[in-house]
Amino acid sequence: MHAPIARDETAVTLRSGPPAGASSLTDLISISEAVRQSVRVLVIDDERTLRESCASVLGAEGYHVTTSGRGGEALETLKRRAFDIVLIDLYMAEVPGIELLKAALATYRDTIAIVITGKPSVESSLEVLRAGAWDYLPKPFTGTQLQILIGRAAHAVVVARETRAQEPPGHTGANTSDRVMALGTAPLFRQAIELARKVAATDASVFITGESGAGKELVAQFIHAHSRRHIRPIVAVNCAALPESLLESEMFGHVKGAFTGAVRDKSGLLEMANGGTLFLDELIEMAAPIQAKLLRVIQDGVVRRVGSETTDAVVNVRFIAATNRDPEQAVRAGALRKDLYYRLRVVPIHVPALRERPEDIPLLANHFLECFWKAHRGANLPAPKLTKAAIWALRAYAWPGNVRELQNVIEHAAVLLEPGAKVRPEDIPFLGDTAQPEPEAAADSALADDGYYVARESLLAKFDRRFLTKVVIRAGGNLSKAARMARLDRTTFYRLMERYQLHRDSLANATDE
């Protein structure tokens, strides 16, 4: 037997006697009775008492409520018409709640699905949120909790309607964000982008990891551009760039007199991102008190400005967080709140380092060279071309600064090169010796972390790659000559190149010299 909704007088008639805090929330959402009547709600639960209690509470608020007690019946109802909000019991007897969730989201792109369950767990909450659920409500819950949650969801419905009304005819939401796909063909990178494309269609929070300069913000922009929020802004905040007091004011806003210099009320980035996406870069650097305050916004959608004693705004924001550190280690060390981490890490995406996808280096280098040449020298002058030797030199470099470092290196070269020049390795001054060894500390770390055979294979693979790259550079990109210089037969030489993804195709955009 499922636990029924807890009934209390203040919950049934919120407008006539709301509990403390609920009235301010309702006032801030400011949804008129006419709008509430236009919001279609479907309640799916096989427990009659809870189903009817939900319908009674929401019907009293003015929502248009439909109920269903069987999974098969609910599927047919979803096929016949679209609903703005769907409440789904996770553990239905006839049809699993997760299937009902997917069916609800498939019928109407702006449907908000809320999963309710009497058996809450971290695993089940992550599963439904990754599947596209808007929120997760454990049983038992009060009428007031239901009213506030549905009020927030209805507010999101209104925002979605306004966003759709602003879209130009035939707009797909992709914009120019597909340029991300053109900047990488490596399997690891494409895997990350395909996952980003899938999650973009939902409102699930995303946690992006990867080294500095690997392209985490570009992936965040890709997700936003392919989401139903693309008309609204994506607002980025670097949590490591601001001191604690300033970061809190920037994110949450402040009221007049909150601190010295606060001469007027000021809305924060959360309010600016309302209806859109907030990108929290370097989240782990955020101070613990701000993490606690952010968690409340994620859970309840309410914003309290610095210096305010009341709720100042209700926001509907999609959160994308990123870090170049290990978040699991940060949780263990107490630098990142565990509850905040799991709230934000609904869908984790890892952006590979540039050295993990060397086959993308020629594509990126040529793209940056073309862009920066046009930016600094104009489109009328012939652009320089990368030689095969330059491509091999670029691929051999470790790129500790990842894509951002490659971008800076190519821009530096574009400023100094002559029109139509053939770019050689010596024309790329930031590279230095392309066969430079790894820092000793990094090598020691690898040896310490891995077992004997894993460490041995890793070091041998690094040697093979560097040797092959160096000899091809010395041979001017002539592979037959490189094989002779290496004193290997061509079959063995080509097999080694294939093993380390040093393909001829990567030289397609380079000159022969």
pLDDT tens column, 456-504: 777 787 788 778 877 877 777 778 888 888 888 888 888 888 787 665 5
Identify which of 81, 109, 85 has the alpha carbon closest to the alpha carbon of residue 36. Answer: 85
Q: Please indicate, yes or no, if residue 172 is contained in any of the structural domains.
A: no
Residue type, 240: A
Q: Please indicate, yes or no, if residue 347 is contained in any of the structural domains.
A: yes
Of 319, 336, 352, which closes a domain?
352
Q: According to the model, what pLDDT value does residue 15 have? A: 31
Q: Please indicate, yes or no, if residue 331 is contained in any of the structural domains.
A: yes
Domain with 231, as residue range(s), is 179-352
365-390 tens-digit pLDDT: 998 999 899 988 888 889 999 988 88
Residue with tokens 């989240």: 283
CA distance 91 to 332: 33
77 with 118, same domain: the answer is yes
142 with 216, same domain: the answer is no
348 with 392, same domain: the answer is no
Q: Please indicate, yes or no, if residue 151 is contained in any of the structural domains.
A: yes
CATH number of 302's domain: 3.40.50.300
291-320 tens-digit pLDDT: 999 998 998 888 999 988 877 788 889 999
143 with 18, same domain: the answer is yes
Q: Which two tokens stand for residue 306?
A: 């610095």
324 with 383, same domain: the answer is no
Residue 445 phi/psi, 5-degree rounding, is -65, -40
Q: How many domains does the chain have?
A: 3
342 with 201, same domain: the answer is yes
CA distance 434 to 417: 20
55 with 91, same domain: the answer is yes
22 with 37, same domain: the answer is yes
Under the banding of pLDDT at 50, 70 and 90, the label for residue 52 is: very high
334 with 396, same domain: the answer is no
Of 115, 144, 166, which closes a domain?
166
Of 166, 193, 224, which closes a domain?
166
Q: Please indicate, yes or no, if residue 148 is contained in any of the structural domains.
A: yes
Q: Please indicate, yes or no, if residue 192 is contained in any of the structural domains.
A: yes
Q: According to the model, what pLDDT value does residue 168 have? A: 56
Q: Which two tokens stand for residue 78?
A: 């979803």
Q: Provide the phi-psi class of 47: left if phi over 0, else alpha when psi is between -120 and 50, else beta.
A: beta
